[in-house]
Amino acid sequence: MNNVYLLCGLAIIAANLPFFIEQILFCIPAKKVKGFHWRLLELFILYIALGLLARVLEGRLSPVHAQNWPFFATTFAMFLVFAWPGFVWRYFWRKPGI
């Protein structure tokens, strides 16, 4: 059960990282303001990384269950909901130039 809480906490943090960090792909300094397309790419990469971590954790406890597209559509939608606070901070709440 602790793995579930750990995974949910990591998902909330990972979903908001693209909106708080200005480096492209978390390592390349951006010459200008990082575009929204980079943030979406980073969000997708973090979703894949978290999914792989979840698969490893599930494999340590029991046989891994096969998943179809509705599972991935639902978890990606949930990941986008987790990203809402970072999106609001970046585009609605933050003053320009900060």
Question: Which sequence spans correspond to the domains of the chain?
Answer: 2-93
- The residue type found at 17 is L
The pLDDT tens digits for 8-49 are: 999 999 999 999 998 988 888 878 888 899 999 999 999 999
Backbone angles phi, psi at 28, to 5 degrees: -95, 120
What are the angstrom distances between the C-alpha of 89 and each of 17, 18, 47, 86, 97? Answer: 12, 12, 20, 5, 13
pLDDT of residue 68 exceeding 80 = yes
- Reference 17, options 89, 92, 96; nearest CA is 89
Q: What's the predicted TM-score (pTM) here?
A: 0.88
Report the pLDDT value the prediction gives residue 39, as an integer from 0 to 100: 94
Cβ distance 4 to 10 under 8 Å? no
Mean pLDDT over 63-87 rounds to: 96
Looking at the chain, the whole-number percentage of residues with pLDDT higher than 70 is 94
